[in-house]
Amino acid sequence: MTHQCRLPSNLVESLESSLSPGRLALYEKLSGGPIENTLKLYCWNMEISKALYWPLHAFEVILRNAMADRMADEYGDNWYEMISTFSSSRSIKPNDEVEHIVKAKRKLTDEGLLYGHDNIVAALSLGFWQQLLQLEYNKKLWEPLFSNIFQMLDREETYRKVNQIKRLRNNVAHYEPILVFLSKRDKRELFKDYKLVLKMIRWICPDTAQWVEDHCSACFFAAWNACPDFFQITRLSVPSNGDEANSQLWKFVVK
């Protein structure tokens, strides 16, 4: 499948101006020009971002719920008021997680919402939950509570994988290029990121992972393989009797 980007010739100049040459510069470099190819690659980046949005949404929501529910079970629904006591750090300065809680409360106040377990959880960023996987929370949070969420991983590996997903989530949320690693310009094999997100969801809740698989895998498969022909990637395939909606059957073919 090739990418179907609707690009009437009379719109090209306006799109180049409205999206801005600066924003399109990376896509121009990756596509090798002309501007039509630049815009096709930009469109494909948006299609892949769209295909990743649902899985990333599901991962962030169920991760924070799983972690928050375990803290609530152990320390009560006002666990967030005790966040500073969970750290083993001896620093006299308030840690970042305390600041996250302060900001979450401020946000709720601005929106006219009451503090409470559910509202606090929803108001906290993915970065907050990732930071609770740091070494300073090992004794009071990871060992007694969070290690049961990711039983196949240790704390450090869980932190690294959540951080990897967080970076992708932020790229998608901020409308950034996700086709390459911005620091090195190396192409990203985003199908591996997709499968990582699905695997992490499966470790938290297999049923939710199946729900995401059913709704998203075929869409991602199609979006990924819709890459413009001029941009070389590792494409996906399935056996002749396979189902594109089952990501465990995906095979990788370099074209």
Q: Give the pLDDT of the chain (255 residues) as one tens digit per residue.
A: 445 688 888 899 999 999 999 999 999 999 998 999 999 999 999 999 999 999 999 999 999 999 999 999 999 999 999 999 999 987 656 678 999 999 999 999 999 999 999 999 999 999 999 999 999 999 999 999 999 999 899 999 999 999 999 999 999 999 999 999 877 667 899 999 999 999 999 999 999 999 999 999 999 999 999 999 999 999 999 998 889 999 999 998 765
Asked if 12 and 39 touch (Cβ cutoff 8 Å), the reply is yes
Counting beta carbons within 10 angstroms of the beta carbon of residue 14, is it exposed (0 to 12), middle (13 to 18) or buried (19 or more)?
exposed
DSSP structure string for 93-159: SPPHHHHHHHHHHHHHHHTT---SHHHHHHHS-HHHHHHTTSGGGIIIIITTTGGGTSTTS-HHHHH
* DSSP code of residue 183: T
Q: What is the pTM of this model?
A: 0.93
- The span from the CA of 199 to the CA of 186, in Å, is 24
Residue 254 phi, psi (nearest 5):
-85, 125
Q: Are 60 and 126 in contact (CB under 8 A)?
A: yes
